[in-house]
Structures are given as C-alpha cells and as structure tokens.
Amino acid sequence: MIAGIDHFVLTVRSVDDSCAFYQRVLGMKRHDEPNRPTALLFGSQKINLHEVGRTFEPKAKAPTPGSGDFCLVAARPLAEICARLAANNVAVEVGPVERTGARGPMMSVYFRDPDGNLVEVSDYNR
C-alpha cells in the first residue's frame, strides 16, 4: 500500500542555520514558498522545517528540536560523504559501519545536525 517517503518534518531552532548546514554538508537545496514551510530538497524527497514557535498545522503532538533520528541514502560513495563531513568539521559519531537497511546490507556513517538530530547516511553500493 505504501510506495515510499515523500517528506518528513524536523522542528528546528533556526531554519536558516539548519538550511545552511544541510546545504553545505549534504548538498541539499533550500526551497521557500509563501505560507509554506521551508523545505530542503534532495532526490525526489524533501525535509520540511518547522521553526520552534512558528510551526504549521497539522504538526506532531510534541514537536521538539533534536528528536529526529533518520537515515538518508547517499547518491555518492560514502567516502565522499565522509570527506565532506571532515571538510565541514562535522564530527562522525559512528562509522563507517555495516548496517542492514530496507534494501539489505549497507555501510553507514552517523553524525548530528545543529539541533542534535541523529543523521545516518548510508551507501548500498559498498
């Protein structure tokens, strides 16, 4: 019944800081529309950003910065992702390490965004 994920929402302290991080570190593109959440575009998905105190309805029952924990599939080799993290002084918490994702074995690296959300980036093409 479900084919995939279109988007998910992160509650953040600062939309500008979050956009700058994801643009710089992971190459996402910022998208702004009047009266809509700011979005970060990547592949055929997006992350909508709700700033604390400026959320959109409907929303999570208890939106909190730093409560996200999600996995993104890399479009480039994981070594390039790790190099980009290092170049941007983003500390790797775990990895690269073997994991099992929705499509099978993969290699993953874990780090945190400015709000403390746990971001996992994975590569199925080990």
Choosing from 33, 51, 57, 120, the catalytic residue is: 120
The residues facing 43 across adjacent strands are: none
* 58 prior amide bond cis, ω within 30: yes
| Cβ proximity of 15 and 38 under 8 Å | yes
Tokens 């499509």 appear where?
103
93 is an active site residue: no
Annotated catalytic residues are: 120
